[in-house]
Amino acid sequence: MPITTCIFDAYGTLFDVSAAARRAATEPDHACLAGLWAEFAVTWREKQLDYTWLRAITGAHADFRQVTGEALDWALEAHGLAGEAGLRARLMALYRDLDAYPEAPAMLGVLRRAGKATAILSNGSPGMLGDAVSAAGMDGLFDDLLSVETVSIYKPHPSVYDLVGQRFGCDRSEVLFVSSNGWDAAAAAGYGFVTAWVDRNRAPVERLPWRPAHVLHDLAEIPSLVEALS
């Protein structure tokens, strides 16, 4: 069946999760990050994902804002930065205002003009997603912002992917699901979506029972892929 609906993960796919640490590191008050922001950003992101999975497995759900803050606390302590005045608050504020990848707005515009439904499906809470979209100047480029808060469990639980069909009334085979997270692209493929993994870092494919149908290196390739599939 042709692709009618294009669904995007948010963090790491549309929005650069390293941007908060990178931007803070340029500020005089937070020069402590200048030499290690990239390593710090990786630690923060990895712990953030760890906590979503552990909370999903144990049934101890908390919204993404809380999880992001708890992961940040761990990363700050791990890097010896827990005592840096104002750093935690600044990083949390910047996380609501992450940079979008530069090709994202134009790519979404092409899809909209082609008549495709577009939405975000994210672990992010509704407020975080709304802030990120607005800060990136992408208001009006999505039919909806779908959050795991509707079902109170994180990806890759199938009930999260169920939200797409519930909202758009489409068959799974009509959905192109786009994620830069290999585990997310794999799980969505297992669910039945057509999947595109945006492998920005040329990483190996995840060793899981399912594999993404398409491997891309940035979002600019999405419109041509959708055209080919439609």
Instruction: Report, as residue numbers or ranges, the catalytic residues.
Output: 9
What is the rounded distance in angstroms from the CA atom of residue 53 to the CA atom of residue 160? 13
Q: For strands 194-198 and 175-179, give the pairing.
A: parallel
Residue 34 φ then ψ, to 5°: -55, -40
Burial pattern 57-76, b for ≥16 Cβ within 10 A else e, equals eeeebebbeebbbebbebbb
Residue 56 φ then ψ, to 5°: -65, -45
What is the rounded distance in angstroms from the CA atom of residue 146 to the CA atom of residue 164? 8
Q: In what order do the strands lie in the sheet containing 144-147?
A: 144-147, 117-122, 5-8, 175-179, 194-198, 214-216
> Residue 207: CB partners within 8 Å, gap ≥ 6?
none
